[in-house]
A and B are shown apart, each in its own frame.
Chain A
Amino acid sequence: MSLKKSSWLIDYAIAKPRTISWIMVILTFLLISLATLPSLWPVAFPALNGLKVDTDPENMLSKDEPVRVFHNAAKKEFSLSDIVVVGIVNTEHKEGVFNPQSLTRIYELTNYAKTLQWSEGDEEHGVVEVDIIAPSVVDNIEQGGEGIVNFSWLMPEPPTSQEEAIAIRDRALHIPFLNGTMVSEDGKAMAIYLPLVSKHDSYEVREKLLEFTSQWDKGDQVHITGLPVAEDTFGVEMFVQMAISAPLAMLVIFGLLWFFFRNLTLVISPMIVAMVSALSTMALLIITGNTIHIMSSMIPIFIMPIAVLDSVHILSEFFDRYPAIKDRRKTIIEVMKHLFMPMLFTTITTIAGFASLALTPIPPVQVFGVFVAIGVLLAWFWTVVFIPAYVMLMPEEKLEGFGHSASDEDDSSFLSRVLHRLGKWTYDHAKTVLGITLLCVGVSAYGISKIQINDNPIKWFNQEHPIRIADKVLNDHFGGTYIAYLEYKADEKGQSLDEYSSSLKQRLETWKQEVIADEYANVESVFSQAMGMITKTKGTTVDEYLLKLQEQVNEKMDAASDEDYDTWSELALFLDAEDQRHQVFKQPEVLRYLSALQEYLLQTGIVGKVNALPDIIKTVHRELFLGKQEQFRIPDSANAVAQTLVTYQNSHRPQDLWHFVTPDYKKTNLMLQLNSGDNIDMEKVIAAVEDFEKNNPPPMNLKSEWFGLTYINVIWQNKMVQGMLKSFMGSFLIVLLMMIFLFRSLWLGLLSMIPLTVTVGLIYGVIGFIGKDYDMPVAVLSALSLGLAIDYAIHFLARSREARNKTGNWKEAVDEVFGEPARAISRNLIILGAGFLPLLAAPLVPYQTVGVFIAAILICAGVATLLILPAAMTLLENRLFKGA
């Protein structure tokens, strides 16, 4: 039915091939112009959307996602920036970088890093100078002689002797928040931390640092890493990949097409369709204001095989039929009549597969799914109209000698011979085939059960990439370069006001005894007035209540006689201290709890280091008490903690404290350094914290919440995996229904799903077995396999049924089916499978993954189609083809 309705389209294409070609060229050119003009001259075309690149994995979550909102709010609250980590390692000097020359370089590098700022419009960009962590800009706290505590820059200037260099190292190793963070625990390497105004500044900063250090001799190796660097670098290399991989894949496909069809002019046509589809889709993506993201950058690579797929079916059949018909018009009409419906259905199923990604909760994946679907639709359209038009535009004489030569008929080529034998073999060994299939399914199921869901943006680079090497080296030396943050805050809803005021009265009693002991005047009178205030004063919150009390006491104090003044003043002090009771992160029991949690986390083996408020307090406390190790502890009162912290703030960098606690001491932040950015490891750490809290209920109703890029990656990954699974199940059902409708047969519909199911099962089974992480590209591939694998089954079953209806029995039909239809499928899988292998050469792992898996999916689906389907049809012939 569709064929008849649509045949006018093909008829038109055949009748007016030039017009069709022009329409295609003009449309494509128009789309490309609309996308490139605003990209190249944004000012001249303000109304149009230009090219926007987005390499930020954070954008895997929508902007208003609670996790992300909290992440940004907490980052701001604790003044945290994204960080570029510069590691300096020296393997030639026996003390590593702790020698005068290396430290001089590090000193100079730090000074240089301080200057890495620039403006873009009104915005400042680059390195946040005040928050740099480097030996010349951090404080040292140590004993400065008898009873003297010394605050000074750790390395105010470069050392001139080896002894001084060692002294600098030893001082740094003695300070917990530098040991394992700035200086490696083995005392050989140094890491300097450059916070950025925006994480998108990291590529530029990295490039400049690399340039600055390029003259350093081999002794000092510079490694630059950190998530922002990885993400930004990925963005830049992504473009290189798009420019290299996609054309390279096209070239290989082109070569193979030529090898099979031996007609240069003709095989250019699928290339044109693929190019037009991919370019138009990307242009549409840009025009609609979407960004080029890690996901959307892969759109062309997904569109191209699918675009070529249909063309190969047409060319393959044309190739086989032309020698017999010897008229290009008649041949192409014949071919299109055969292929129109299967192609339409394969296209619809592919579109369903990708469009279902729009149901995932991840914006970039939605965009990816929708635009691949658009690209597939475009590819189908141009295949159906342009390939016939192209054939018509070719002079007949150019096709001379084209095709499967009629003389040596079928068994001529190696491929044909193999396929014919294969067809017979499946007929004879149907049970074996199905048995093996079941075995494969079983083994796959086991493999799938072993799948490990994991991702890590650093691992998007291959092993030899400088970023990957830097990551390895630095995580070997230091506590870890992956940062996750854990916030604790007191639960505000605590006791009621009544409870509070009665406990306040008790404490006031104690106060009374103390001031009487200190011989203050008129204590009884002041005390009874205060008790009266406590009873009478009303308030909605404890804070408000206290504020009202303080106001009243201040008034009394101002009006008091000289004699009473001191007593009132003591009462005011008492109330101020009451106020500070809510500064939970000055309370020793809370700090000890955090300290215990820190210890616990270090036992996970993933957390190399936790920097937090207790470390600062303990270190300063130790140095206040002559540097004695037993004084490395939390002092016993909140006042002692407060005074220790004031001492700490007498430094060059008092603001450092606010990275770990808010100035109201109601929220604290633990900075975890993880030696792995794998989501799976982050998840283990999250579980460890949950365990700890369960076994050790936090004091004062503390509540914890995670943030930081490493944590965010876990969140979007989980969303993606679940989303992908749902969308895959959904589209699987839709495709199944479509198949039942297409074949008007439940059994054929179910049968058509078998190659797809086996393929997906096998692919993911293998992923489970080899321990390849189920990461973002792997998840997306399930959608692709749905589209590709069903394609072969549709073609194969459609042609099988046709053949069976013609011959009346399956045994004879097998022979026909394993002729031209099987050849089309085989050519297809060889061309496309091989075509995507060049992606293996890409330095970016997601591209390699996609290359390998597209090839594997194609081969798997092809083989499954050619083996399982005929075997099943052999055994189920009666049920499948009742109307024989």
Chain B
Amino acid sequence: MKLLMIFLLSLLSLGTASAADLTTDEIVNRANLATYYQGKDGVAKVKMTITDSQDRKRERKLTILRRDEPDTDDLENGAYRGNQKFYVYFSRPADVNKMVFMVWKNLEKDDDRWLYLPALDLVKRIAASDKRTSFVGSDFFYEDVSGRDIDEDEHELVETTDKYYVIKNTPKDPASVEFAYFKMYIHKKTFIPVQVEFYDSQDKKYRVARALKVDTIQGYPTVTKSSMESLQTGSKTVMEYTSVKYDTGLPDNIFTERYLRKAPRKYLK
């Protein structure tokens, strides 16, 4: 299976190098797959460093577990797309140790989100009304971590350069988001969006995401260092991914309320 994937992927990258005639939808789907759906599941340790405009740094350490509902990464008819579950376990700073954030990302309805606060001995559902709020005080939004569903935007290929497809994404429901549109610079070979720029209604760029480092792990081109910068506050968050593993066979039952209070240690190491 794994070997097959690598084979398919290399085929894909070979194919795209010559075929500049991909449709916008195909590009968008491949980018979506490369960013959020690679493998059946994934585990990564993350060091998050938030640096504000005064160069003050804060560090958080967390482990992200992801499990996809579909068994396939097939692009055909968007077969790779489906519901996903995320389990985010915090270990540092010490005072948020064991804090857990869990998401059931649903394509057909609102996401389900939970927060476990060990010091308050509290499991809390978080209303999913707005996913574009800060992810634990960083410059990333929840939606940046779990992935924005591609059906929520209209996509337009505005430019093709030597290296990138530039896609302009305009929200179908402008009232639900703070941006007017965002531009993705999608790498032609890996389909990783190496830069994403968010613009406001006055065409002012106010937020930029960057892929700072890409490694191939188990055959998947994987962003192992990324950043999100707010041009408004001057704050910047860098996420560094270590011990990235795909297809580890995460069981579905650990993504449940029961495991919030008692973390599945085995999978977090």
The interface of chain A, by Cβ under 8 A from chain B, is 76-77, 79, 115, 129-130, 139, 144-145, 147-153, 156-157, 565, 573-574, 576-577, 579-580, 586, 621, 624-625, 635, 637-644, 646-647, 649-655, 657-658, 662-664
Specify which chain B residues have a CB less than 8 angstroms from the CB of A624 in the assembled complex.
117, 120, 122, 124
Residue from B91, B126, B235 with most neighbouring chain A CB atoms (10 Å): B126
Please name the residue on chain A nearest to B51 by beta carbon.
A663
- The answer on a CB contact under 8 Å between A152 and B202 is no
**A845 → B minimal CB distance (Å):** 39
- The answer on a CB contact under 8 Å between A649 and B137 is yes
- The answer on a CB contact under 8 Å between B94 and A650 is no
28 contacting pairs across A/B (C-beta < 8 A)? A76-B54, A77-B54, A79-B53, A144-B127, A147-B124, A148-B126, A149-B125, A149-B127, A150-B126, A150-B127, A151-B127, A156-B175, A565-B269, A576-B92, A579-B94, A635-B120, A637-B119, A638-B95, A639-B96, A639-B118, A640-B120, A642-B93, A643-B99, A647-B115, A649-B136, A650-B136, A651-B133, A652-B130
- Asked whether any CB of chain A lies closer than 8 Å to the CB of B256, the reply is no
In this complex, how many residues of chain B approach chain A with their Cβ under 8 Å: the count is 42
Partner pick for B175 among A152, A157, A652, A653, CB 8 A cutoff: A157
Cα distance A641–B120 in the bound complex, in angstroms: 9
- The answer on a CB contact under 8 Å between A655 and B124 is no
- Asked whether any CB of chain A lies closer than 8 Å to the CB of B232, the reply is yes
Q: Enumerate the 7 nearest inter-chain pairs by beta-carbon distance, A residue then B residue, closest first.
A: A649-B137, A144-B127, A639-B119, A642-B95, A150-B127, A577-B94, A576-B94
- Asked whether any CB of chain A lies closer than 8 Å to the CB of B111, the reply is no
Residue from A139, A625, A655 with most neighbouring chain B CB atoms (10 Å): A655
**A666 → B minimal CB distance (Å):** 11
Q: CB within 8 Å of A: which of B132-146?
A: 132-138, 142
Cα distance A651–B58 in the bound complex, in angstroms: 18
| Chain A proximity mask over B83-114: 1 for CB below 8 Å, otherwise 0 | 00000000111111101000000000000000
Cα distance A306–B135 in the bound complex, in angstroms: 68
Partner pick for A152 among B93, B120, B130, CB 8 A cutoff: B130
Cα distance A376–B45 in the bound complex, in angstroms: 77
Assuming A149-B126, A151-B130, is B117 touching A647 (CB within 8 A)?
yes
Cα distance A77–B117 in the bound complex, in angstroms: 29
Please name the residue on chain B nearest to A645 by beta carbon.
B137
Cα distance A157–B58 in the bound complex, in angstroms: 34
Assuming A148-B124, A156-B175, A577-B94, is B130 touching A643 (CB within 8 A)?
no
Specify which chain A residues have a CB less than 8 angstroms from the CB of B52 in the assembled complex.
655, 658, 663
**B165 → A minimal CB distance (Å):** 31
Specify which chain A residues have a CB less than 8 angstroms from the CB of B178 in the assembled complex.
652
Specify which chain B residues have a CB less than 8 angstroms from the CB of A586 in the assembled complex.
95
Specify which chain B residues have a CB less than 8 angstroms from the CB of A641 in the assembled complex.
95
Cα distance A643–B99 in the bound complex, in angstroms: 8
- Asked whether any CB of chain A lies closer than 8 Å to the CB of B233, the reply is yes
Specify which chain A residues have a CB less than 8 angstroms from the CB of B57 in the assembled complex.
663
| Chain A proximity mask over B42-61: 1 for CB below 8 Å, otherwise 0 | 00000000001110111000
Please name the residue on chain B nearest to A143 by beta carbon.
B127
Cα distance A663–B93 in the bound complex, in angstroms: 12
Partner pick for A130 among B58, B119, B232, CB 8 A cutoff: B232
Cα distance A151–B54 in the bound complex, in angstroms: 27
- The answer on a CB contact under 8 Å between B134 and A145 is no
* 16 more CB-based (< 8 A) A-B contacts, given A79-B53, A152-B130, A652-B134: A130-B230, A147-B124, A151-B130, A152-B129, A579-B94, A580-B94, A624-B120, A624-B122, A635-B120, A640-B119, A642-B93, A642-B96, A650-B136, A655-B235, A657-B137, A662-B56
**A770 → B minimal CB distance (Å):** 49
- The answer on a CB contact under 8 Å between B134 and A649 is yes
**A53 → B minimal CB distance (Å):** 30
- The answer on a CB contact under 8 Å between B91 and A573 is yes
Please name the residue on chain A nearest to B137 by beta carbon.
A649
Specify which chain B residues have a CB less than 8 angstroms from the CB of A157 in the assembled complex.
175
Specify which chain B residues have a CB less than 8 angstroms from the CB of A640 in the assembled complex.
117, 119-120
**B118 → A minimal CB distance (Å):** 7
Cα distance A530–B56 in the bound complex, in angstroms: 30
Please name the residue on chain A nearest to B175 by beta carbon.
A157
- The answer on a CB contact under 8 Å between B126 and A643 is no
Specify which chain B residues have a CB less than 8 angstroms from the CB of A574 in the assembled complex.
94
**A630 → B minimal CB distance (Å):** 15
- The answer on a CB contact under 8 Å between A646 and B120 is no
Specify which chain A residues have a CB less than 8 angstroms from the CB of B58 in the assembled complex.
663
- The answer on a CB contact under 8 Å between B233 and A655 is yes
Specify which chain A residues have a CB less than 8 angstroms from the CB of B133 in the assembled complex.
139, 151, 650-652
Specify which chain B residues have a CB less than 8 angstroms from the CB of A150 in the assembled complex.
126-127, 129
Cα distance A586–B124 in the bound complex, in angstroms: 22
Residue from A638, A642, A657 with most neighbouring chain B CB atoms (10 Å): A642
Specify which chain A residues have a CB less than 8 angstroms from the CB of B91 in the assembled complex.
573
Specify which chain B residues have a CB less than 8 angstroms from the CB of A643 in the assembled complex.
95-96, 99, 117-120
Specify which chain B residues have a CB less than 8 angstroms from the CB of A663 in the assembled complex.
52, 56-58
- The answer on a CB contact under 8 Å between A144 and B119 is no
- The answer on a CB contact under 8 Å between B92 and A646 is no
Cα distance A147–B113 in the bound complex, in angstroms: 12
Partner pick for B96 among A129, A139, A646, A652, CB 8 A cutoff: A646
Specify which chain A residues have a CB less than 8 angstroms from the CB of B202 in the assembled complex.
115
Please name the residue on chain B nearest to A115 by beta carbon.
B202
Cα distance A644–B135 in the bound complex, in angstroms: 14
Partner pick for B127 among A145, A565, A580, A642, CB 8 A cutoff: A145
Specify which chain B residues have a CB less than 8 angstroms from the CB of A129 in the assembled complex.
232
Q: CB within 8 Å of A: which of B216-269?
A: 230, 232-233, 235, 269
Cα distance A625–B125 in the bound complex, in angstroms: 12
Residue from B53, B115, B233, B269 with most neighbouring chain A CB atoms (10 Å): B233
Cα distance A638–B94 in the bound complex, in angstroms: 11
Specify which chain A residues have a CB less than 8 angstroms from the CB of B94 in the assembled complex.
573-574, 576-577, 579-580, 639
Specify which chain A residues have a CB less than 8 angstroms from the CB of B130 in the assembled complex.
151-153, 652
Specify which chain B residues have a CB less than 8 angstroms from the CB of A77 in the assembled complex.
54
Residue from B58, B94, B235, B269 with most neighbouring chain A CB atoms (10 Å): B94
Partner pick for A642 among B53, B54, B119, B134, CB 8 A cutoff: B119
- The answer on a CB contact under 8 Å between B126 and A580 is no
Partner pick for A147 among B97, B125, B269, CB 8 A cutoff: B125
Specify which chain A residues have a CB less than 8 angstroms from the CB of B125 in the assembled complex.
144, 147-149
Cα distance A147–B126 in the bound complex, in angstroms: 8
Cα distance A386–B3 in the bound complex, in angstroms: 105
Specify which chain A residues have a CB less than 8 angstroms from the CB of B120 in the assembled complex.
621, 624, 635, 640, 643-644
Assuming A147-B125, A148-B126, A638-B95, is B233 touching A130 (CB within 8 A)?
yes
Specify which chain A residues have a CB less than 8 angstroms from the CB of B230 in the assembled complex.
130
- The answer on a CB contact under 8 Å between B95 and A580 is yes
Please name the residue on chain A nearest to B101 by beta carbon.
A650
Specify which chain B residues have a CB less than 8 angstroms from the CB of A637 in the assembled complex.
119
- The answer on a CB contact under 8 Å between A639 and B95 is yes
Specify which chain A residues have a CB less than 8 angstroms from the CB of B96 in the assembled complex.
639, 642-643, 646
Specify which chain B residues have a CB less than 8 angstroms from the CB of A156 in the assembled complex.
175
Assuming A639-B119, A643-B96, A643-B119, is B134 touching A149 (CB within 8 A)?
no
Partner pick for B126 among A642, A650, A662, A664, CB 8 A cutoff: A650
**B238 → A minimal CB distance (Å):** 15
Cα distance A565–B93 in the bound complex, in angstroms: 19
Cα distance A577–B122 in the bound complex, in angstroms: 21
Cα distance A148–B126 in the bound complex, in angstroms: 5
Please name the residue on chain A nearest to B142 by beta carbon.
A650
Specify which chain A residues have a CB less than 8 angstroms from the CB of B56 in the assembled complex.
662-664
Specify which chain B residues have a CB less than 8 angstroms from the CB of A145 in the assembled complex.
127
**A765 → B minimal CB distance (Å):** 52
Cα distance A178–B91 in the bound complex, in angstroms: 33
- The answer on a CB contact under 8 Å between B97 and A573 is yes
**B182 → A minimal CB distance (Å):** 17
Specify which chain A residues have a CB less than 8 angstroms from the CB of B93 in the assembled complex.
576, 580, 642
Please name the residue on chain A nearest to B235 by beta carbon.
A655
**B10 → A minimal CB distance (Å):** 35
Specify which chain A residues have a CB less than 8 angstroms from the CB of B97 in the assembled complex.
573
